[in-house]
Structure 1
């Protein structure tokens, strides 16, 4: 059984229009969708999204009470926890905030919503199923290939994730006035090939700190075209990154920020 404690393993989109989001990401990323359970009393359904390798995450409507409070569409990530209550208390003592106290989701497990020291949101989850999820090979289409924290407090957040989850650091890239781009590994492997994400200071144009998840695609230019054709907005890219892959950062038609990473099939293609 795969140990997923301390690692991102499930990704969830809360959106103002689940049906539109399902169609958009199905075209851009290539997911299949399966409704989970019978939904809640208000008729909302949780849609599990999967690649050929297995489950990736879920898409659901923004809860009514959250929409009333002004929540907009966004992607969140779940970090595995062997004991959500104990981890929430431990992380709170280390500078995190508990935004939603631990509670059970019938048939799923126990979760909590947390904020890191810089203000970015993440979730803890201890699934009720005893079966682990086998992580896909790197750059498997449809799965998250990179985790990027736009931090509200770079030094505090770096110390938090490395100290509390055991993540290790790789190289740090100087981005000039934007600060440092610090590579991280959730796999506790201090090599470039083992890096699974990075932390950087939040750019001034971003309204709040947050995690940005990069979904792997087979062809970055095809994904770029599908984003725009589907009503999304490209914010940046395609841009080549170290290692030879290319990225595109974008928002979906409902405004949730996401990114894609993949290779360029046509080496001469330009944007």
Structure 2
């Protein structure tokens, strides 16, 4: 099953009224570069693609909005956005932006799950223009998902105070599979596998035992080489640290933060590989 298969998280978007503030935070912090879509400027609003350091293809985008709100959402690949919107609303999702065609490039919709978490659906276009732009990129994106580089989105996380409702929804919605993470040192954490995937691409943190500190969220997580140092740098740039830095017994380090605009994101680094003797 390919990373670019329906039901997989393959993109993220940051919605904001101040794109320069967003680029001014994440650029220095994670080494991102940015390119404004020249076809996107409508009424002064832009769509800015986000590239990880050294990446030839974007992994997400900054969407300039006019609603006054800030939001971050994960985007899930769909074969038929209109049909999926109908199917997901029957499962308890709420439509925020109905299925919308963007030029000849794609169709997207934005929804919230039954716990109020924002996510998007989008479908790949079959237009010649889109196919030309995508030529050679799927192999790169597949490799980036398997071996993410520092600064890239290498994981996503769902936090929930109702794990049963959350797992029931995403299992029915996208065929996701949830398995307890036995490397988490007893933390209430599960790995999330996309439909048919042999490896996890995200995780679920059960906050039902956290009392008033419990949280429901859905966030991208970015790979860094040093979680503690990057967390300190994020704090100096105006971020707020919600959790961590922390580590699992296997050496995986992580932290959860909100950026200066209030958008939640994660940082992580995998266990160190053993050196050859």
TM-score (norm 1): 0.82
Q: 1:253 to 1:14 in 2, by over 3 A?
A: same
Contact 2:161 2:214 in 1 (8 A): no
Q: Cα offset for 1:242?
A: 5.0
CA distance in 2, matches of 1:201, 1:263: 21
Q: 1:156 to 1:264 in 2, by over 3 A?
A: closer
CA distance in 1, matches of 2:230, 2:255: 9
Q: Name the count of aligned residue pairs.
A: 255
Q: Cα offset for 1:28?
A: 1.3
After TM superposition, list the pairs within 5 Å mapping 1:1-271 onto structure 2.
Answer: 3-51=4-52, 52-53=54-55, 54-61=57-64, 63-64=65-66, 66-67=67-68, 71=69, 73-128=70-125, 129-130=130-131, 131=134, 133=138, 134-135=141-142, 136=144, 137-151=146-160, 153-171=162-180, 180-186=188-194, 188-189=196-197, 194-202=199-207, 209-262=216-269
Q: 1:21 to 1:206 in 2, by over 3 A?
A: farther
CA distance in 1, matches of 2:271, 2:227: 6
1:211-233 Cα shifts (integer Å, max 9, x gaps)? 02211112223312321222222
CA distance in 2, matches of 1:225, 1:180: 26
CA distance in 2, matches of 1:241, 1:186: 23
Give the number of the structure whose residues are more often strand, by fraction.
Answer: 1
Gaps of 5+ in 1: 266-271
1:18-46 Cα shifts (integer Å, max 9, x gaps)? 11210211111111111112443321221
Q: Cα offset for 1:10?
A: 0.8
Q: 1:111 to 1:7 in 2, by over 3 A?
A: same
CA distance in 1, matches of 2:120, 2:98: 11
| CA-atom RMSD in angstroms | 2.9
- Provide the secondary structure at the position in 1 that maps to 2:251: coil
CA distance in 2, matches of 1:13, 1:39: 15
Aligned to 2:275: none
Gaps of 5+ in 2: 273-277
